[in-house]
Amino acid sequence: MSEVSLPAVSREWHLVARPQGWPTAEDFALREVPVTAPEQGRILVRNLHMSVDPYMRGRMNDVKSYVPPFQLDRPMDGGAVGVVVASAAEGFAVGDHVLHGLGWREYADVDAAHATKVDPDLAPLSAYLGVLGMPGLTAYAGLFETASFKEGDAVFVSGAAGAVGSLVGQFARIKGASRVVGSAGSAEKVTVLTEKYGFDAAFNYKDGPVAGQLAEAAPEGIDVYFDNVGGDHLQAAIGALKLNGRATLCGAIAQYNDTEPAPGPNNLAMVIGKRLRLQGVLVSDHAAIQPKFVQDVAGWLRSGELVYDETAVQGIESAVQAFLGMLRGENTGKMIVSFNG
């Protein structure tokens, strides 16, 4: 086994209480654990960047879902990228950079079968958690496969300044959308959508009813809706979708911290008359298109057609605040936690 000198301890975040409504700092604890050399078939990774994502809020509830809940008094997990510091697995050497699923900790003991080598020369390492990672593939699959996007479609994206939404709008623009409209939660984000990401129109959902603002931004209606928010956005989109329109339901961040069920759209009968298709998307269903996704997106990045933002917070001790900030919409693009050292 090859290794560099290892530290005695690592820090990792544990969930210590199940949040009721909005999570608080008291629901989490940063704890020290011993670092040991990896056993056969495993690698030890010093994490350099970790991801905080909206889906993690659902995993803090003890409910059955498409991904198991976090366990209390155990380390949380999620996407991370780092450097191998000890290897007992064929094909992985000290100094290799890898993407894996054991974030929320400084050092990760990873089953090599669940680690993927990444190239720091192709893109910054943090990009493998965003534009070239799970959020990017979610945007790509949700638009092109789930929503069956085609050239000439008019597209509306909610939460359009986030990690997924900002890419959906740009993918649609690159592939010939007739109009791309986005919603966001501040005037600054609206400016980013139109001036940096190339959206044709954007609005601040806090400025007034979503349905009215969407009607102004897309007076001829929309063919595709990519939903990251739910609630009043979904209701407005159902009203604006044209005959045979398609909606990809990716997230409902407006409802994740509700303690009572949120009212659903009250215009679902329109789905019948308009023959709409509303379909959920889970990125894990679309692994087969990963190579095409990376090829397309890497090409668009090289050509300058596609740009992306990250909001980086420094230090593992800041990870919970970064997660809470992401839920509040304090990020533009992907929220990343970068570790010191």
Q: Is residue 256 part of a domain?
A: yes
Predicted TM-score (pTM) of the model is 0.88
**CATH number of domain containing 209:** 3.40.50.720
Give domain status of residue 294, yes or no.
no
My answer on whether 32 and 69 are in the same domain is yes
122 plus 155 within the same structural domain? no
How many domains does the chain contain in total? 2
Residue 173 in any domain: the answer is yes
| 115 and 92 share one domain | yes
Asked if 245 and 238 count as a contact pair (C-beta separation under 8 A), the reply is: no
221 found inside a domain: yes
Q: Are residues 148 and 272 in the same domain?
A: yes
Residues of the domain holding 91: 2-130+309-338
Tell me: do 175 and 222 sit in the same domain: yes
Residues 146, 110: one domain?
no
- Residues 68 and 192 both lie in one domain: no
Residue 302 lies in a domain: no
Interatomic CA distance for residues 183 and 240, integer angstroms = 14
pLDDT attached to residue 2 = 60
**Same domain, yes or no: 86 and 182:** no
Question: Contact 185/206 with Cβ under 8 angstroms?
Answer: yes
17 within domain boundaries: yes
How far apart CA 108 and CA 78 sit, in angstroms, is: 11
Same domain, 77 and 150: no
Task: Give the CATH number of the domain where residue 99 resides.
Answer: 3.90.180.10
DSSP string, 18-61: --SSS--GGGEEEEEEE-----TTEEEEEEEEEE--THHHHHTS
Dihedrals φ, ψ of 30, to 5°? -95, 115
User: Does 291 reside within a domain?
Assistant: no
Mean pLDDT by 10 residues, the chain (341 residues): 80 96 96 96 98 93 88 96 96 96 97 94 91 95 98 97 95 98 96 98 97 98 96 96 98 74 87 98 93 92 94 96 94 91 54
pLDDT in tens, 33-67: 999 999 999 999 999 999 999 899 999 999 888 88
**Do 224 and 94 belong to one domain?**
no
Query: 57 and 34: one domain?
Result: yes
